[in-house]
Chain A
């Protein structure tokens, strides 16, 4: 049977030291067995490396930041749709998910499919609501508190012991060993990501991640756990290895069954010295290390596209354990004209 060719737009082309997942997602889509692809990159900045990776990305369009509002994004996507006849969009940033979820219906009427969590799922898993999430679904989470202003910082030592984690609502986390550090991180993080800031109990242990895919009915379509082996100063995995931990897989299946999660996700987990697992965060999108899942036999982006297109998919039941990913950086040589094209005209 002839494979269809799908026009798929992907964001998160910033393959930098704190990488977006876009380039890994595209590599996965290029290896899809069930369809061929024409890849349209959607970028926010002119120096996102994926824009210039012409063997992976056929054409790139800049799109407005989420802060510019949903209307502007929709207008831009209408323009792109006229030119590219997109079948699917895969948004890869937490911060852009809200506008894309809001636009899901409108985009569908234009022929663009997505496979995203519902707004309720998206809000419920927000780290601001992690305590309630843990209680509701019977999943162990570290104690956390949401703070909106510096005046409440002084009461923290009565509720948390040092060190404690200071987290931004979208990204960033720092370990604070004193009230002075909490204040300093509060100011830094709130200036960058806005309010509130989250204070979280520090769990001593080893960090693990699980990526996977839920079909929206509670079924686990894919799940691959990974241990970070090499971590950058920004806390990002620069190397990792697939593992086989039944407890982690059980927690993942429980998360999917109870929330009926729809779409890709990444669970950030901490295992303490007694072997207890804590759920630190749920990222409502595929992670930057998603290509490891492809490498171990679960092409999650491919299946996500098939679900978006309304096809029936078969859940993955196995993966290779002990496979590693080792990330690297690579200098591309780029003509100034290309930079000019994307910077001045928003297309390349």
Chain B
């Protein structure tokens, strides 16, 4: 899973997709996850990093994480397989 290269993420958590002109805001944990995605970390590595840093239940985090990825995907912020393989 990889965040699209051209998507800009600011420190404050504002995402900007330059292709569509859409902006989104995410909270600080969202920013951390986006940075992990940018670094091409796997789901397991991201889960490990977040659970190691915050006091959260594994199952609850993974549910929320999948929801978050779903929202990113729905808004075309994640590279599709074709884009990743191109």
Q: Which residues of A does B touch, CB under 8 Å?
A: 206, 208, 226-227, 229, 240-245, 321-322
Contacts and interface: CB of A to CB of B under 8 A. Distances in A.
A244 B20 CA distance: 8
Chain A interface, DSSP helix/strand/loop, else mixed: strand
A244 B16 contact: no
Nearest to A241: B21
23 contacts: A206-B20, A208-B21, A226-B21, A227-B20, A227-B21, A227-B22, A229-B21, A240-B21, A241-B21, A242-B21, A243-B18, A243-B19, A243-B20, A243-B21, A244-B6, A244-B18, A244-B19, A245-B19, A245-B20, A321-B18, A322-B8, A322-B16, A322-B18
Interface residues of B, number: 8
Contacts of A229: 21
Interface of B: 6, 8, 16, 18-22
Contacts of B22: 227
Nearest to A247: B19
Q: Lowest 5 CB-CB distances: which A-B pairs, in order?
A: A227-B21, A243-B21, A244-B18, A241-B21, A321-B18
A162 to B, nearest CB: 27
A321 B20 CA distance: 11
Contacts of A244: 6, 18-19
Which residue, B6, B16, B18, has most C-beta atoms of chain A within 10 A?
B18
Given A245-B20, A321-B18, A322-B18, 11 more contacts: A226-B21, A227-B20, A227-B22, A241-B21, A243-B18, A243-B19, A243-B20, A243-B21, A244-B19, A245-B19, A322-B16
A15 B19 CA distance: 29
A245 B22 CA distance: 12
B86 to A, nearest CB: 14
A227 B22 CA distance: 8
B23 to A, nearest CB: 8
A229 B16 CA distance: 13
Contacts of B21: 208, 226-227, 229, 240-243
A244 B6 CA distance: 10
Nearest to B16: A322
Contacts of A245: 19-20
A303 B22 CA distance: 30
Nearest to B8: A322
Contacts of A208: 21
Contacts of B16: 322
A144 B3 CA distance: 39
A226 B18 CA distance: 10
A241 B22 CA distance: 9
Contacts of B18: 243-244, 321-322
A322 B19 CA distance: 10
B30 to A, nearest CB: 20
Contacts of A321: 18
B13 to A, nearest CB: 16
B7 to A, nearest CB: 11
A208 B20 CA distance: 9
A227 B16 CA distance: 12
A207 to B, nearest CB: 11
B75 to A, nearest CB: 12
A37 to B, nearest CB: 32
A243 B6 CA distance: 11
A206 B22 CA distance: 11
B66 to A, nearest CB: 22
Contacts of A322: 8, 16, 18
B68 to A, nearest CB: 21
Nearest to B19: A245
A346 to B, nearest CB: 43
